[in-house]
Amino acid sequence: MNKDAQAGQAYNVGEVGVGSRVPPPVGADWLTTGGDITVATGQRVLAEAGVVRYAGTLTGTVEATLIQDDAAVAPYAALRDELTTASRCYARVDGAPRTPTGTAVNQGTQTLFTGDGTSALQVFNVDFDLTGPSGAQQGIVFAGIPDGATILVNIVGANRTLNTYSGGIDDATDPLNAYRERLLWNIPDATTVNLNGTGQFQGSFLVGEQSSSTTVTLPGVNGRFFTTGSLTHTSAATGGGGQEFHAYPFNGDLPDCTTPPPVTGAVEVLKTDSGTGAALPGASFQLWEETNGTPGLQTGGGDPDTSVGASCTTDAEGACSRTVETGTYYWQETAAPDGYDLPDPAVFGPLVLTDENASAGVSVTAANTRTPIDPTTGVVKVLKTDSETGAALPGASFQLWEETNGTAGLQTGGGDPDTSVGASCTTDAEGACSRTVETGTYYWQETAAPDGYDLPDPAVFGPLVLTEENASAGVSVTAANTRTPVPPDTGTVKLLKTDADSGRPLPGATFELWEETNGREGLQTGGSDPDTRVGTSCTTNGAGRCSFGDLDHGTYYLRETGVPDGYVLPGDPVSGPYVVSGDQEVVIARLANSRDDKPCEDTDYGYGYGHGGGDDAYGSCPGRKGHAGAA
């Protein structure tokens, strides 16, 4: 709202002084907007006793109970289109102007509407502006209007102006006032509408064009005002003020613009047992309408008939029903009730619904035959697990056998074995193998264990007895497997014995191998907690070589116990430690011996014996500590 300062600072909604001829109820919604409300600075919208409900934002001063509501106009969402449809319908029937009952003639100083004097609905079609010469004001006069008649004035054209002095504040001052509550000014087409003059104009307005812009400068509009476009309520450029809408009701009887509803009726199918005639619930049907002109039902191809609605399941009375418009229909059975076969063909009809039989509806009976009863079956399952952890084991192979020869236990060979059932089964990620079979006695035979596991002995699990009583739950057995032992990783200690001077290989040297097991540094061969000797002695061959194999990962010492002829035992006959590990599974010790004329010469032995608290004493060269042998 933005008023000229000379026209006052307030805009009243709902009521205003003596002009409040038909105020709304106190506390009702007096103003509702689907967007923002903006009031110029220093001005006010007054609706003190009512509610102003708005969907957007409010700027400026509004004196009322204020409610911000994003859904403010939701109750009226359909109204705009409904008003447009009604406006066009009042003006035209099937595209042609509605038949008038009287004439409208612009006589310059007035436009005279002359009715037929008898019709309850007086219709006038106007394709001109209701103005005097050069757009001046003129009077609006009705004649030949029966008492109680409704007056419908259709004002057609792209732009229309009404400029009049007709209508009075007091009903006794102007004959036009007498028609107010049964008079509708319908403007279906105009995009620009101007309602001007000095009169207190009478009757309700309907502006149906949604792109329209209506400007009202009349001092008063006495009736309901509906527009589907925009509205500017203002004073004339020449001055004046006090423009008001007085929402007198419209109580006339207008043309019925609703489309007559189509004739409808029930199309029903009754599903029954072909033997007993009993109603069958649980059958699924699809309704089709005959639309392609080809006799019979076509559900596929380039031009099928038309399916109607969703699938329908017969109820406790065996019925499926749809309320549809008149036409020709088929029921197609898509699923039979439990325990029954789908009929062939599974199409029932045609059912022809007409205006004459629609009230009673049409029906067809569809009979089904019971499905032969299959033998009782259930699941026979084996669960393969780790014997230690209970974890499920995939990858085990099983063969299912049925007990058929009358001999207790499973017989897989000979002249009268039991009967194998199906192909071999491999346990899945849950460690399961299962077969759905008829009632009987069964065995699971494990034919191959999972990788890394031993085949159990015996490898037969059962009997599993499947009966009528337990078939729905099935029967199961757990088969546990033990891991195949994994030999530890091993390695080798190899040694090369050479002459300390010449470096040539020396055969005939004898060695023992000891493993470090007591946790004390160096080799201890005696006492209460010695280290552990490994295997038998080893004597170097002609190449001066000797080796100890298949050794667990660990720490070892070599102890020389015999020397080649002409050589002396080293002062410290123990070398090491030698570490056999995953990083070095082959350890090579290079050891040298001196001739007997050099007993204390360095022999490339490392210490490893005696310094860790050994019980025996070796060494003919006191004070020599030695150094680690090469490895």
Question: Model confidence over 13-69: pLDDT tens digits?
Answer: 988 876 667 889 999 999 999 999 999 999 999 999 999 999 999 999 999 999 999
pLDDT at 19: 61
Lateral strand order in the sheet of 510-515: 532-539, 510-515, 554-562, 574-580
Instruction: Please indicate, yes or no, whether residues 108 and 205 belong to a single structural domain of this protein.
Output: yes
pLDDT at 405: 96
User: In this structure, is residue 122 part of a structural domain?
Assistant: yes
pLDDT at 68: 96
pLDDT mean over 545-559: 95
Instruction: Please indicate, yes or no, whether residues 103 and 169 belong to a single structural domain of this protein.
Output: yes
Distance CA 142, CA 566 (A): 156
Instruction: Please indicate, yes or no, whether residues 310 and 269 belong to a single structural domain of this protein.
Output: yes
Q: Is the pLDDT of residue 112 over 50?
A: yes
> Are the CB atoms for 617 and 524 separated by under 8 Å?
no
> Are the CB atoms for 601 and 595 separated by under 8 Å?
no
Beta strands 327-335 and 347-353, pairing class: antiparallel
Distance CA 227, CA 206 (A): 6
Cross-strand pairs, 470 = none
User: In this structure, is residue 609 part of a structural domain?
Assistant: no
User: In this structure, is residue 281 part of a structural domain?
Assistant: yes
Q: What is the 3-state secondary structure (H, E, C) of 367-397?
A: EECECCCCCCEEEEEEEEEECCCCCECCCCE
pLDDT mean over 540-568: 94
Where in 456-611 does DSSP place strands (E)?
A: 460-466, 475-481, 490-499, 510-515, 532-539, 545-552, 554-562, 574-580, 586-593
Range of the domain at 575: 490-593
pLDDT at 582: 86
Distance CA 532, CA 341 (A): 82
Instruction: Please indicate, yes or no, whether residues 496 and 589 belong to a single structural domain of this protein.
Output: yes
> Smallest Cα–Cα separation from 268: which of 361, 367, 360?
361
pLDDT at 618: 37
pLDDT mean over 560-572: 92
Distance CA 468, CA 455 (A): 33
pLDDT at 597: 60
pLDDT class of 571 with cuts at 50, 70, 90: confident
Q: Which residues contact 18 (CB under 8 A, 6 or more apart)?
A: none
Structure tokens at 485: 């032992």
Using the Cα atoms of residue 304, residue 310, residue 316 and residue 320 in order, give the sign of their dihedral.
negative
pLDDT at 610: 30
Distance CA 150, CA 134 (A): 31
Residue type, position 25, single letter? P
Instruction: Please indicate, yes or no, whether residues 222 and 109 belong to a single structural domain of this protein.
Output: yes
pLDDT at 344: 94
Beta strands 284-289 and 327-335, pairing class: antiparallel
Distance CA 400, CA 435 (A): 8
Q: Is the pLDDT of residue 422 over 50?
A: yes
User: In this structure, is residue 621 part of a structural domain?
Assistant: no
| Domain count across the chain | 5
Instruction: Please indicate, yes or no, whether residues 476 and 496 belong to a single structural domain of this protein.
Output: no
Instruction: Please indicate, yes or no, whether residues 361 and 472 belong to a single structural domain of this protein.
Output: no
User: In this structure, is residue 25 part of a structural domain?
Assistant: yes
pLDDT tens string 436-451: 999 999 999 999 999 9
Instruction: Please indicate, yes or no, whether residues 149 and 206 belong to a single structural domain of this protein.
Output: yes
pLDDT at 609: 33
pLDDT tens string 128-167: 999 999 999 999 999 999 999 999 999 999 999 999 999 9
In this structure, what CATH number is given to the domain that contains residue 503? Answer: 2.60.40.10
Instruction: Please indicate, yes or no, whether residues 383 and 507 belong to a single structural domain of this protein.
Output: no
With residues binned 3-state (H G I as helix, E B as strand, rest as coil), the percentages for the chain, rounded to 5, are 5, 45, 50
Ranking 243-247, 390-394, 534-538 by mean pLDDT, the lowest is 243-247
pLDDT tens string 201-234: 999 999 999 999 999 999 999 999 999 999 999 9
Q: Is the pLDDT of residue 598 over 70?
A: no
Q: Is the pLDDT of residue 127 over 70?
A: yes
Q: How many CB atoms lie within 10 A of CB 526?
A: 10
Instruction: Please indicate, yes or no, whether residues 504 and 436 belong to a single structural domain of this protein.
Output: no
> Are the CB atoms for 27 and 59 separated by under 8 Å?
no
Instruction: Please indicate, yes or no, whether residues 26 and 136 belong to a single structural domain of this protein.
Output: no
Q: Is the pLDDT of residue 497 over 70?
A: yes
> Smallest Cα–Cα separation from 630: which of 592, 601, 589?
589
User: In this structure, is residue 628 part of a structural domain?
Assistant: no
User: In this structure, is residue 599 part of a structural domain?
Assistant: no
pTM above 0.75, yes or no: no
> Are the CB atoms for 254 and 340 separated by under 8 Å?
no
pLDDT at 516: 97
Distance CA 255, CA 152 (A): 9
pLDDT tens string 316-357: 999 999 999 999 999 999 999 999 999 999 999 999 999 999
User: In this structure, is residue 629 part of a structural domain?
Assistant: no
Instruction: Please indicate, yes or no, whether residues 459 and 513 belong to a single structural domain of this protein.
Output: no
Q: Is the pLDDT of residue 467 over 50?
A: yes
> Are the CB atoms for 112 and 176 separated by under 8 Å?
no
- DSSP code, position 409: S
Distance CA 42, CA 61 (A): 8
